[in-house]
Amino acid sequence: MAERVLEVEDLCVEIPIPSGMLRPVQHVSFHVGQGETLAIVGESGCGKSLTSLAIMDLLPSKAKRRAERLVLDGDALTGMTERQMADIRGNQMSMIFQEPMTSLNPAYTIGNQLTEAMLRHKSVSLAEAKDRAVWLLEKVGITAARSRLGQYPHQLSGGLRQRVMIAMALMCGPDMIIADEPTTALDVTIQAQILHLLAELQDEFHMGMILITHDLGVVARVADRVAVMYAGQFVETGTAAQIFDSPTHPYTQGLLECIPIPGKTERGAHLGSIPGIVPSLVGEIRGCHFAGRCPYVHEACTAEDVSLRPSLDAGHEYRCVLSPQAAIANRNKQAAQ
Amino acid sequence: MAVTEIKSDAVALEKAIEPSPGALLRRRVFSHMGLMIGGGILLVILAMALLAPLISPHDPYDQILDRKLIPPVWFDSPKVTWAHPLGTDQLGRDYLSRLFWGARISLLIGFAAMLISGVIGTTLGVLAGYFGGRVDMVVNFIITTRLSMPVVLVALAVVSLIGSSLTVVIWVLGLLIWDRFAVVMRSATQQVRGLDFVAAAEALGCSTWRILASEIMPNVTNHLIVVATIEMAHAILLEAALSFLGLGVQPPEPSWGLMIAEAKGLMFFEAWLITIPGTALFLLVLAINLLGDGVRDVTAPENRN
Amino acid sequence: MLQYVLKRLGIAILVAVTVSMITFSMIYLSGDPAIALAGETATQEDIQNIRRVYGYDQPIVVQYANWLWNALQGDFGQSHYLKKPVADVIFERLPTTMLLGACALIFALVLSIPLGVVAAVRPNSLIDRIALTIAVVGQAMPSFWFALTMMLWLGIYWRLLPISGTASWANFVMPSIALGYYITPAVMRLTRAGMLEVLSSDYIRTARAKGLRPMTVLFKHALRNAIIPVVSLAAVQFGFMLGGSIVIETIFAVNGLGFLAWESIQRADLPMMQAIVLVLSFFYIILTFLADMLNAWLDPRIRVM
């Protein structure tokens, strides 16, 4: 197993709102190794973006972060001052956002925005930073890179901007990169290119990557390990193969039925849907968060909190009162119908 | 088992105790401090203006020359008398009575000028916002032209050329300060025009005037109210400035601006002469502004949850 | 960019021509200008004479063309009262008003922009509340009353500053504050609103994710974008201030254009009044044109197309 770049243990985010305490992220734990891609999957509002912002310490000012352990390259991020955190952001750990159209400052040139992080973190000259920017722009597949430095964001298409965002995240050679739905806002034809590019670069630079997405198709292609998030909690984690071949949690099972996976879903097969709505995360929820929508719900589900527990294979964990055998049997029954 | 039932019960209960939109609006209104303070002050001044003939202790025009410059009651002076709670001016006129009657002039001019400018500005703005294109270009040009003429100076010049009176002041101000109505109504209409229900009304073949009256206007009313308060305050301040410069309301009318102008020569000795009408003017404008801000806060769509 | 400049320039010229027509027609507001000019004791013959001398007997279009042609060459005619060329008097007084306006603008911007920025960075904090209070109070304060009150306290009671004239820099302090405070609320609110919007934008999050220093994020990334609308507003408000300087200059006896305007109105000096309105309007038009240009330069989305 590769050396761990990022370790997260018991991460919680709490936001006080008028009607009580909102807990969008609850006791999330995971780790990412060098050159490894962890995909965090879940529907919108499940807390996956807040998880990434919490790691970067970029949460909105009202939101409070708590974590047992939050370690990057062996340094604890918990208890770091804002100044120390700023030294790490964009340097050892950087982030790619969902909205390439609005994530670049309209007032400055691409070159200016590419070089500023490097000038801030590394002792390099402007010329050196520009050279690196050009080199990276070429890496992310932008032609006439040097002349692009003088262009403004509004002169570039969405796909190009996202390539620029990726280059920008790589400027300081980070060990860890967090991509928060990097392809959601792009045309379908460009989505695949950008993902392919990300996977390639991650491999080349040997970075750890967290890929946040709601698109299971994306996950199947690039993720090493997958964490399925529902209503603020990880409900199932495992390798990509484990999650796709033997999903154990009823939510994961439902999620996989909703989406056709290339090569796995038969042509013409019926796609499922999960009835019900996500529970409110204000205050404490007793028991399983998915109980309200789960087809197999019974008394034990809401009796007490359910913790993550091992499934059949090593490294595969899920959060359900059912035994793995029973859960998988349920799925097969469902599929047979 | 019954988890889903419990959940649906909870939802039903929530629905049952959820207040109606009207109650919600009332609650927001009453919990908005600025709105309450502004509304309160305005009500007091409105009452002063409406009841001036009844509550004034004296005739505001009555000059009692042996009772000149009596200070207000809180001053430590032998001349002080409760017959003139706010004292008398340099011509022996009761200051409190003049203040009450002055409220009438300020409110009348402010309201009338706002009405005139509101009609002009709203018409221009709504037409520009709804029709766009050429109409919009022309209206924009008219607004720009109007904005480039200095209001105070033009008002003063015009009033001096055609002679000053209450009606003239109202019309001059009304014809000058419609620009904000036009600008705000134009953009508000543009926004509403882009919404689906307008497209739906168009698709149903409703006439343009019907769409303007029943689809556009009701949805820009909150903007209209806010601008109306701003412009009423603006008109009141302009009237006071005009009267202060001697080209607005003419003596012996008790305009607050004129009262300050008349007391100007004496202000170094009897500062209260300008403090009292000045404070009244300030409070009136403050109240109207607070009311406008409050209406904006309470009706702003982002506050509607 | 060139196309944008030319379009703006075209509109500016068109507005200027329209304004000049309106200003020119001012002389007919009081009826026949020749009668007004001749005075009550004039005979029919005197009036005929005046008509011929001043060209009032010619068709109105010819009169306007002549007037505009002369005005463009800097000839605004003779002052009826001072018996001097209007242009000479105006250019003698203009620098004082410009100086006053500039000082007032600087005062307003130095106060309002930092306050707006701080208020936006810490919304609902003590500073934000103080800033909001200043804005609300400032907007409600009649400028002439504020000027008089300031004069009373700073000038008479505490003897800190001279109360009238233009003898030294100290004379400009109170008029600048009195003139500048009026635009402070608007600039502050716009700065605050702009900063709030920009600070919650995605590109600020990007900048923070790069680990940039808070000051770099605030000034390089946020303020630069938030300031763009403030530039336009400041230009517009500067124009309004020059128009409003008539009140302040009159109070503090600052011998500028505003004071001249008031004197001319008192003396019914029509050519002078016309010229001042025209000069201030043109100044406003030039100012907004320059602000548009500055805006375009600040905003690459307009500059680089």
Q: Is the pLDDT of residue B146 over 90?
A: yes
Q: Is C79 within a domain? A: no
The CATH T-level fold of domain A4-223 is Rossmann fold (3.40.50)
Instruction: Report d(CA C62, CA C233) in Å as an integer.
Output: 38
> Each residue of B13-48: b (16+ CB within 10 Å) or e?
eeeeeeeeeeeeeeebbeebebbeebbebbeebeeb
Q: Is C51 within a domain? A: yes
- In this structure, the answer to whether residues C99 and C15 fall within a common structural domain is no
pLDDT, mean of residues C66-78? 85
Q: SS3 for A93?
A: strand
Q: Is C84 within a domain? A: no
Rg from Cα positions in chain C? 24
- Give which of A286, C259, A76 is closest to B6, Cα–Cα: A286
CA distance, residue B10 to nearest chain A CA (Å): 12
- In this structure, the answer to whether residues C40 and C138 fall within a common structural domain is no
A300's CB contacts (< 8 A; 6+ apart) are: A321
Give B89's pLDDT tier (boundaries 50, 70, 90).
confident
Q: Contact A117/C210, CB-based, under 8 Å?
A: yes
Give B195's pLDDT tier (boundaries 50, 70, 90).
confident
CA distance, residue C224 to nearest chain A CA (Å): 7
Q: Is C132 within a domain? A: yes
Instruction: Report d(CA B248, CA B232) in Å as an integer.
Output: 16
- Mutation target vs B (from C145, C200, C289; most B CBs, 10 A cutoff): C145
Residue of C nearest to B292 (CA): C136
Contacts with B233 from chain C: Cβ below 8 Å: 139-140
- Give which of C252, C245, C228, C236 is closest to C285, Cα–Cα: C236
Instruction: Report d(CA B262, CA B256) in Å as an integer.
Output: 10
- In this structure, the answer to whether residues C104 and C213 fall within a common structural domain is yes
Give the DSSP letter of residue A259: S
pTM of full prediction above 0.90? no
Mean pLDDT of chain A: 87
Q: Contact A86/C211, CB-based, under 8 Å?
A: yes
Query: Which token pair is C272?
Result: 């002078």
**For C145, which of B153, B245, B274 is closest by C-beta distance?**
B274
pLDDT, mean of residues B285-292? 93
- Give which of C299, C297, C276 is closest to C89, Cα–Cα: C276
Give C36's pLDDT tier (boundaries 50, 70, 90).
low
CATH 3.40.50.300 domain extents, chain A: 4-223
Give the DSSP letter of residue C253: T
What number is the ipTM of this complex?
0.89
The CATH T-level fold of domain B21-303 is MetI-like fold (1.10.3720)
- In this structure, the answer to whether residues C65 and C99 fall within a common structural domain is no
Any alpha helices (H) in chain B, and if so which ranges?
3-17, 21-31, 33-50, 52-55, 95-131, 133-148, 151-162, 166-176, 179-193, 196-203, 208-211, 217-244, 256-263, 272-299
Q: SS3 for C52?
A: helix
What is the pLDDT, as a whole number, of residue A271?
Answer: 67
Q: The domain that contains C142 carries what CATH number? A: 1.10.3720.10
> Each residue of C173-199: b (16+ CB within 10 Å) or e?
bbbbbbbbbbbbbbbbbbbbbbbbebb
Rg from Cα positions in chain A? 21
Rg from Cα positions in chain B? 25
- Domain region containing C271: 91-304
Give the DSSP letter of residue C220: I
**CA A69 → CA B255, C16, C71, C218, distances in Å?**
72, 68, 78, 31
Query: Quick one: what percent of chain C has pLDDT higher than 90?
Result: 43
pLDDT, mean of residues A72-76? 91
Tell me how many domains chain C contains. 2
Count of C-beta atoms within a 10 Å radius of residue B138: 14
Query: Which token pair is B65?
Result: 């020359």
Sign of CA pseudo-dihedral B197, B202, B203, B206: positive
For chain B, the distance separating the N- and C-terminal CA atoms, rounded to the nearest angstrom, is 33
Q: Contact B1/A299, CB-based, under 8 Å?
A: yes
- CA–centroid distance for C227 within its chain: 20
Give the DSSP letter of residue A271: P
Q: Is C81 within a domain? A: no
> A40 or C60: which carries more pLDDT confidence?
A40
Q: Contact A106/C225, CB-based, under 8 Å?
A: yes
Place of tokens 């250019």: C91
**For A103, which of C202, C211, C213 is closest by C-beta distance?**
C202
Q: Contact C207/A168, CB-based, under 8 Å?
A: no
- In this structure, the answer to whether residues C65 and C128 fall within a common structural domain is no
Q: Enumerate neighbours of C (3 or more CB pairs within 8 A).
A: A, B
Q: Contact C136/B286, CB-based, under 8 Å?
A: yes
- In this structure, the answer to whether residues C23 and C171 fall within a common structural domain is no
Instruction: Report d(CA A136, CA A249) in Å as an integer.
Output: 41
What is the pLDDT, as a whole number, of residue B16?
Answer: 46
